Structure 1
Amino acid sequence: MSTADDMAEMPVQLPRNPANEAEARSRYFNSGNAFNIKLPPVPGHIFVDEPAKAMAMEKTGFIDCDQSDQMQCGFPATTPLMLARYAVVKAGETLDTTLTNTASIWYVITGKAGLVVGAEKAALGKGDVFLLPGGVASAITAEVDCVFWAVGNDPQLKFDTSVPVTGAEAAVAFVHYPAGEIAHQLDVVYSANANASTSGHALIFSAAKTEAARNITPTMTLSLNTLKPKSFQPPHKHNSAAITLVVSGDPAYSMVADQQCDWSPWATLVTPAAAKHSHHNDGKTRAEFLIVQDGGFYYHARTMGFEFY
C-alpha cells in the first residue's frame, strides 16, 4: 500500500502476486497520477536554414525539419504526428525514397527527375506534386540537380510502432499531380467566387482511394492555398497541426500565436494544433503556399474545431 496522501503523488501500482508473465506485465495508475504528465508544447516555428541548405545542393540526401528535442520525442518529428523534410538529388544520382510511413506527400521545388514506385514510373518536373505509399520500394533518379519537399506521417507510425500496409489493402496508392494540371485545376477554382464560409481560393488534393473523405491520405490533408495581392486570411484556428511550404509571396508573413513569421523562399512553417494564426500577403502578386495537416484524424473524430476569430 502507498503511504502518499495525494493520489497524484502515488507511484505506479504493480500486481501483487502475478501468476505468469502476462499478469506480471500489468500496471495500474489512478485518476490523479495518470493525467498529470506535462508534455512540452509543440513549437511554432519557421524553418529557414534547412531550405537554404537544400538549395545549396551539396549532396544527395534528406534534410529533416526536426523538432523532436523540443518536444522530448524519441524520433525525428516536426509535429507529434508528422515529419517534414527536404530531399536533394544530385544530377545522375539516385535517392531511395522507401519510407516507413503510411504515405508521404512530395513537391518538386526544382529540377527534373525520374521516379520509380514499385512497377510504376513517372517523369517529374518543377511544381509537380506526388503521393508515395509507405513501405513500397521507390527511388528518384535526377536528370539535373533536384530539390524536393516532403511531409509524411512517419512519427505516427513510430509512436504506435506500426508498419505500413502494402498491396491491395493499402490505404494509399501512388498518385502523380503534374504542375500543368495543378495550374489548370486552380484556375477552375478561381473561376468561382469564394463566400464568407470559405477561407479564400484553395485547391484541395485528393485521390481515388480517399475521394469520399476528400483527403489525400486517411490522416493527412493537402491544400494549395492562395492570397490575392494586398490581402490576408483572417485569424483562425483548428485542432489539426499544420506544416506549410512557402511557394511564393513577397513580402508576406504569418502570425502564429502573436509571433510574426516572415516568409522566405521555400521556408517551412509549423502551426501547432489549436494555435491562433493568420496569413498575410503585402505584395503585388498572388501568394501561394502548400499546407499539409493531420486533419484526417480530426474530421473522422468530428473534432476539427475550425473557427475564425
Structure 2
Amino acid sequence: MMQAELNEAVDMASLPVQMPLAPKTEAAARARFFNSGNAFNIHLPDVPAASFDLPPSMSMSNSAPCETQWMDCDQSDALGSGVPATTPFMLARYLSLAAGAQIVLDSTTSGSIWYVIDGDGTATHGETGFEWHRGDVFMMPGSASANLHAAQSGALLWCVDNSPLLAHEDAVPRTASQRGLVAVHFPADEIERQLEMLFRTSANTETSGFAVIFSSAELEPTRNLLPTLTLSLNTVPPGCMQRPHRHNSAAITLVLTGDDCFSMVDGKRCDWRPYRTLVTPPAALHSHHNEGHGPRARFLIVQDGGLYYHGRTMGFAFADDSGNPEP
C-alpha cells in the first residue's frame, strides 16, 4: 500500500506523536510533530471550586503568634501543578508573623497583594517604607530587597501572588526598577473613605455591585494592581445579592465581613466565614448573597484578570435566570 493510501485509511486523530526520521543533530532530534486531529485534545484537570479556613494555630484572638508560619491555599495536586498553586496562575497564602519577626519576600514573583487581617508592622522595598495596620491593603513588588517586619503585637496577613504563572513559564521577573513597579499602600481609613463615597452614588444595571478597584500611579491606564492581577473590595447590602455572572479569569476571594452570607458557584452553595478563602473557577456561573440584617457584606477579590484584559478575552457577562449569558 502506498503511503498516501495508508494515510487515507488511518484516522488522523489516532496517529501518535511523530518524530523526525533521520535527524542530523541533537536539536533536530528533539523535534516532535502533531496534527490538527490530535494536537488540541489535551484534557487538563478542572480548577476546583474550593474554600480554605485559617487554622486555630494562626489565630491572634488571645495573644501574639509564638512563631512565624505560612499556610498555602494549595490545590496543586488537583491541578496537576508542580508548584503550590490555588489556581493555575495564582497562589493565596496566610502568614502569621511572630512578635518582632521579619521576613524577606519571595523574589520569584512579579509581586504580591496583601491584606492585614490583624496586627501591625512595617514594609520596606528599596528606599520605600511604610507602616501597616489592621484593614490595610498593600502591594509589594517581587524583589530580594522587599521585606515585612511585625510589631511586638505580631501580625496575621493574607496574600496572593502570581508565582504559579512564572513557574509555568520558567521565568524570572525583571527587577522592580526595570518594570517600574514600586510598593503601593492603601491605608484602611482611606479605603473606608472611598467606600463611603461610592455608597453615596447610584449604579446602573450593568454595574457589578459597589466595589473599590485598587490600582497605582504606575498601572493607572490598565486599572490593575499588578500587570496580571486585579484587586477589588466588593460589597453586598443586607437582603441583596450580586447578580449571577461569569468571566474567564479565576477569582480568589477573602471574606471580610458578613452575617448569613454565601456564594453560589455553578449551583453549589458555599457559606461564608470570617477570613475564609474561596476559589471561583474560570467561566463558572457565580453570585454572592447577603441574607443578613447587619451591615454590608465585604469581600476582597483577586483575579488573574490582567492576563485576560490584555488578551482581549475577559468574557464578562451577566446571566439570566436560566444561567445563560444575557444578550
TM-score when normalising by structure 1: 0.95
1:55 alignment partner AA:
S
Looking at structure 2, the residues matched to 54 and 43 of structure 1 have their Cα atoms a distance apart, in angstroms, of 25
Shift of 1:209: 1.2
Corresponding residue for residue 20 of structure 2: 15
Given residue 80 of structure 1, which amino acid in structure 2 is its aligned partner? P
Q: What is the 5 A alignment of 1:114-263?
A: 114-143=122-151, 144-170=153-179, 172-263=181-272
Q: Is residue 85 from structure 1 mapped to residue 93 from structure 2 by the alignment?
A: yes
Larger radius of gyration: 2
Identity level (%): 51
| Counterpart code for 2:70 | F
Distance 1:192 1:255, change over 3 A: same
SS at match of 1:208: coil
User: What is the rounded CA distance, in whole Å, between the counterparts of 1:198 and 1:219 in structure 2?
Assistant: 22
Partner SS state of residue 220, structure 2: helix
Pick aligned residue for 1:73 from 72, 81, 84: 81
1:100 partner amino acid: T
Cα distance, 1:115 vs structure 2: 1.5
The total of aligned residue pairs comes to 308
Query: 1:52: how far off?
Result: 4.3
- Per-residue CA deviations over 1:239-277 (Å, capped at 9, x if unaligned) read 110000000001100001111000001000000000000
When the two chains are superposed, the root-mean-square deviation of aligned CA atoms in Å is 1.8
The ranges of structure 1 where at least 4 consecutive aligned residues each deviate by more than 4 angstroms after the TM superposition are 1-4
The amino acid of 2:69's aligned partner reads G
Residue 57 of structure 2 corresponds to residue 47 of structure 1? no
Tell me the CA shift for residue 153 of structure 1: 0.6
| Greater alpha carbon shift after TM alignment, 110-119 vs 221-230 | 110-119
Cα distance in 1, alignment partners of residues 30 and 261 from structure 2: 54
Mapped partners of 1:189, 1:292: distance in 2? 20
8 Å contact from structure 2 (residues 104, 144) kept in 1: no
Q: Is the 8 A contact 1:227 1:280 kept in 2?
A: yes
Q: Output the CA distance in 1 between the equivalents of 2:233 and 2:82.
A: 31
Partners of 2:177 and 2:108 in 1: CA distance: 18
Give the TM-score taking structure 2 as reference length.
Answer: 0.90
1:54-106 Cα shifts (integer Å, max 9, x gaps): 32645202210000101111111000000000111010211222331111100
